[in-house]
Amino acid sequence: MEYIFLGIVLFFCAASLGGLVVYVLLTPKLKKYMALARIDDLTKLYNSREFKYRLENEAGRAKRYHKPLSLILIDLDGLKSLNEEYGYVAGDTLLTEFAQFLESVSRTSDILFRYRLGDEFAVLLPETPEESARVFAARLYSDIRKHRLNLLYNKPITISIGLASLNGSKDTIPSLQQRAESRLGKAKNEKK
């Protein structure tokens, strides 16, 4: 009887150790695939899927703790003409440069995304009221001119910005996004 019990204990120990070995061997690969599902391959910013997830979480947190939350949508105005004139490699270079620029001017608490697979980006600003988000957006708009993105192709690159903030606990995520997208569209139309 003792041997049967000892055999059962040894079996479970081996199974546990085997599971641990499998876990240790697979963990780096799992982390890599999890990151691929959340990160845009080109810009290395969070992707649209992660945007939806983070927006829901941050909006929920903002409402629960009565904190502000602002959203900035950004569109690179000259990407289409750059792609047409110089090719998609030039456009990809611009997208990468802009992502690096955006990281350099953002706070560590800001969450950066490639909003859509084209030329749009998003910045979530947790615990940031609309007035402070406006200051950040104005600085971003000004700094992009000084930074002179994509000098290699000597094309002037400008951005359009749409900004919105949660308005109280009754405000919804779709209305927040719709306001930011509407303001982005208005900014783009004013440049035409």
pLDDT in tens, 149-170: 655 666 667 899 999 999 877 8
Residue with tokens 């290395």: 44
The answer to whether 119 is a known catalytic residue is yes
Fold of 48-190: Alpha-Beta Plaits (3.30.70)
Residue 116 has pLDDT above 60, yes or no: yes
pLDDT above 90 coverage of the chain, percent: 55
pLDDT of residue 180: 97
Whole-number mean pLDDT of the chain? Answer: 83
pTM score of the predicted model: 0.82
pLDDT tens digits, 80-93: 888 888 889 988 98
Q: How far is CA 123 from CA 108, 147, 181, in A?
A: 12, 19, 13
Instruction: Give 104's pLDDT tier (boundaries 50, 70, 90).
Output: very high
More confident residue, 135 or 30: 135
Return the minimum-mean-pLDDT range out of 33-37, 83-87, 107-111, 116-120: 33-37
Confidence (pLDDT) at 21: 47
Q: Which residue has the higher pLDDT, 74 or 142?
A: 74
Q: Which of 40, 119, 143, 171 is catalytic?
A: 119
Secondary structure in 3-state letters for 84-116: HHHCHHHHHHHHHHHHHHHHHHCCCCCEEEECC
